Amino acid sequence: MDCAAGRRGRAQARRGWSRWVPALQGPGSSQPGRRGPQTWVMAGEAALPGAELLPFARFLDSSARGLAYGYGQGSLRELRAREFGRLAGTVYLDHAGATLFPQSQLTSFTNDLIGNVYGNPHSQNISSKLTHDTVEQVRYRVLAHFHTTPEDYSVIFTSGATAALKLVAEAFPWVSGGPESGGSQFCYLTDSHTSVVGMREVARAMGVTSTPVSPEDVRLAEKRGVAITDPDCPLPHLFCYPAQSNFSGTRYPLSWIAEVKSGRMCPVSTPGKWFVLLDAASYVSTSPLDLSVHRADFVPISFYKIFGFPTGLGALLVNNQTASLLRKSYFGGGTAAAYLAGEDFYIPRESVAERFEDGTISFLDVIALKHGFDALERLTGGMEHIRQHTFTLTQYTYAALSTLRYPNGAPVVRVYSDSEFSSPDVQGPIINFNVLDDNGNIIGYSQVDKMASLHNIQVRTGCFCNTGACQRHLGISSDKVKRNLQAGHVCGDDVDLIDGQPTGSVRISFGYMSTLEDAQAFLRFIIATCLCPSHGQSLLQATPREAGVPPAEDEVGATPAAVDGSSPSYQEDTPTDSCVWNKLPTAVGAVGLHPPLSEADRTQETPSEKAPGVPSKVLGTHVVTNLYLYPIKSCAAFEVKASWPVGHQGLLYDRNWMVVNHNGICMSQKQEPRLCLIQPFIDLQQKIMVVKAPGMAPIKVPLEENNEPTQICQSKVCADRVNTYDCGEKISSWLSEFFGRPCHLIKQSSNFQRHAKKKYSKDQSGTTATLSLVNEAQYLLINRSSVLELQRQLNICNENGKEELFSVEDLIPRFRANIITNGTKPFEEEKWDEIAIGSIRFQVVGPCHRCQMICIDQQTGQRNQDVFQKLSESRERKVNFGVYLMHAPLDLSSPSFLSVGSQVLPMLKENIAHNLAASEKHQDVTS
């Protein structure tokens, strides 16, 4: 699906949209609040109505309330350059997920650790006393930040907001229901984080009823009020709600705290005393919270939402009037005033914090908080300034998004919110939305996310651990959620549309260091990809995607896949009698070290020219024109000129090695595009791999382990753990010098098995394919006709008559396939069920769903988003290109080969039997 309606209007405006020029310098380039005729226009003609970028100055002039941008004491641009230089070129819009720490905060904390000795606070020595006193000082600082004192609240440090919620669930004085009593009630707003909803499991185990209530129900209760019923009833109930929805940014009234606690507003009509838990984790990241006014009983917070660092540290702020009611069963180190090991005797410590902080707290992280508070106040002047600044950016972005229209008048986005973004009292710095096409169809959030990544814009997609809000805003029924699960969709995946309906949305959120440039870069991205794409079509398309079809990344099977076991080397595939394989060098003497094909030698040759030794009678409709293997995962291809041996895992030595960073994490071209410049060459005769790179002397790596003992290390390929070994210091130093940072070359262990998740065929019970360091499948096949169609679309002249040339030789390497065929029709390979190449049968296991990797020129490492955008524009479904193949386990009593020039016999489901008979006639081609 594409933006079809109004295409005529876009065609008329097409020429001007591709050359945007600023009438004055963009507002983010000088003083954002400065008034003036700042707007963006098209060169040579008026802007298409509904597609202009809202000028910030005009927005400020039209605002009904005073808005503040920045922090007054200095330029926000200078702050960004000084404190967040790592953001250069990146638009980070996921502050609701995790905000970012400033450089000075980390420097100050590091200097603190270097200059002081901090011991375990449970000891009594001098360094321990320093730690204890510093931690207590930080507790006071936390309470002061929330405008309260140790007399009113206690700070219990936890591993995060989730741990704080779990603590309340386990320690709350629940009363289980009985025949004569309904027992306690646990009530929570449906617009709550997963960690709040999860408290109901603890409540259920204690015999307590849980009741979800919608925001509408609570607002109705607030309007009508409820008379206090039996105020003397001591039965304790707990009501939980978020100060700010992490889904939509809606800010719920803090006045609900007093209303519920007093009994004037009851979320559930039942006698007893109500306590209130205010989930403040999202709210306090950009707003002040005054606990002297809004005296919630429990307030869980997470510090990385405020400071960005440290992570893994949160707190539960407990109202001291409520603290005495909390019950605790387990006790750990530091929580006991006295206990006996030989009998049931235990006396807890007196203070609330000491009673509930089991074991030694993360005291260095607690000390880091001091530097977080210092940096925040120094850079911004306090939380109220952050609240005003982030709301200004949010209101501007919302206003700009709301004005965007297609030529037919249809809106470009659908925003999910309960507010009109009129005030920071009702709306936080979050905008949740889906992009629409001009027919009103929703464009899948994964498509938007990938397109945003091409523009270096980082957003968040999905349901954001808030299923209740997601269901409410997107109109997803509970039955639909269950059906989506059965279809293969789970929380956190990228299955964004099922039966044309969304499973989630897109969220952007601002932090205290966000700038007008960030907001406008995002808005220009939406305009550029929806309203003014090249050739009058939308680059974002509303296209349904089948559940359970995973995306691909940089190479064969570069899709996160659930697979079990591990990955053997080729040697492990070899039969016990390996004499056959010992003869490989003579059998494949033509496939030693081969330089890359020159421009003239490549794909313009006919199949007969490519493989002169193959009889012309077998060169049918579909022929293998090129074979590639990728010895080092994510590095350059090694092209086979004639034939190459095949094992159980695929082509011999295909993705047997990978480059890892200093932490042992696999490096890919997504993070390090220069991997494509690492060129491996396999010499089967000498049993070595020669590795080359620009500016580096070639280096040799043995193909197999030597007899020296090697240390096996655990590595990960996508979600799989595999056994590998380090290839030595020499190649590690070589790679480290090339990349300018420590890295290593590792190889899969020869005695390690890893099996594909999917079985080879339904009629082969229990048969699974074995994998090397690929992520999902043994092979990737692409059709030259599909490449030519993509090339044709990319090479259309633009409005200046200048032609952008993408050669077939440039495009083919981007897709990192093993097998290239000369098919008759574009994308016909997606209809194949099986294929036969010589004596080897392959199952087509599905299309390869592409990501931004195809934007990297494999000759230079430079990025160009045109290829991905054109696929996004032109395909009827998601950005699929090529198909995954796996073969049945082979009988390796005799060698098997794949050869350039071999006939490819595709088999559709309805004619597999017919094609199998035909394939047997030609099985001598590659044997």
Active-site hit among 465, 666, 718, 848: 465
How far apart, in whole angstroms, are the C-alpha atoms of residue 258 and residue 268? 16
Start-end of H helices in 487-560:
516-526
| Angle between helices 383-403 and 516-526 in degrees, nearest 10 | 20
* Pairing mode, strands 643-647 and 650-651: antiparallel
How far apart, in whole angstroms, are the C-alpha atoms of residue 812 and residue 826? 14
Query: Cβ contacts of residue 246 below 8 Å, gap of 6+?
Result: 96, 193, 281, 282, 430, 464, 465, 466
**DSSP H or E segment with residue 820:** strand 819-821
Is the Cα torsion angle 811, 816, 820, 823 positive or negative in sign? negative
Instruction: For 261, list phi and psi in degrees, rounded to 5.
Output: -65, -35
Residues in a beta bridge with 657: 632, 747
Task: Give the residue from 267, 652, 608, 244 showing the smallest Cα distance to 430.
Answer: 244
**DSSP H or E segment with residue 462:** strand 460-462
| Angle between helices 363-380 and 103-115 in degrees, nearest 10 | 140
Task: Output b/e per residue, 350-374; b: 16+ Cβ within 10 A.
Answer: eebbebbbeeebebbbbbbbbbbbe
Helices (H) and strands (E) counted in the chain, each on its own, are 28, 41
Task: Answer yes or no: are the C-beta atoms of 184 and 169 closer than 8 Å.
Answer: no
Task: Answer yes or no: are the C-beta atoms of 522 and 52 closer than 8 Å.
Answer: no
Residue 623's SS3 state is strand
Long-range contacts of 723-726 (CB under 8 A, 24+ apart): 723/566, 723/748, 723/749, 723/751, 723/752, 724/658, 724/748, 724/749, 725/749
Task: Answer yes or no: are the C-beta atoms of 279 and 240 closer than 8 Å.
Answer: yes
Question: What is the dihedral angle through the alpha carbons of 386, 390, 391, 393, rounded to the nearest 10 degrees?
Answer: 150
Burial of 544 per CB tally in 10 Å (0-12, 13-18, 19+): middle
Task: Answer yes or no: are the C-beta atoms of 851 and 721 closer than 8 Å.
Answer: no
Could you confirm whether 491 is annotated as catalytic? no
Residue 661's SS3 state is strand
* Beta strand ranges found along 613-749 (DSSP E): 624-629, 632-633, 638-640, 643-647, 650-651, 657-661, 679-683, 688-693, 696-702, 712-717, 720-726, 743-748
Query: Cβ contacts of residue 164 below 8 Å, gap of 6+?
Result: 156, 158, 298, 300, 301, 314, 315, 316
Tokens of 244: 């700010």
Place of tokens 């952008």: 804
How far apart, in whole angstroms, are the C-alpha atoms of residue 78 and residue 292? 36
Tokens of 870: 């054109």
How far apart, in whole angstroms, are the C-alpha atoms of residue 716 and residue 709? 22
Active site residues: 465
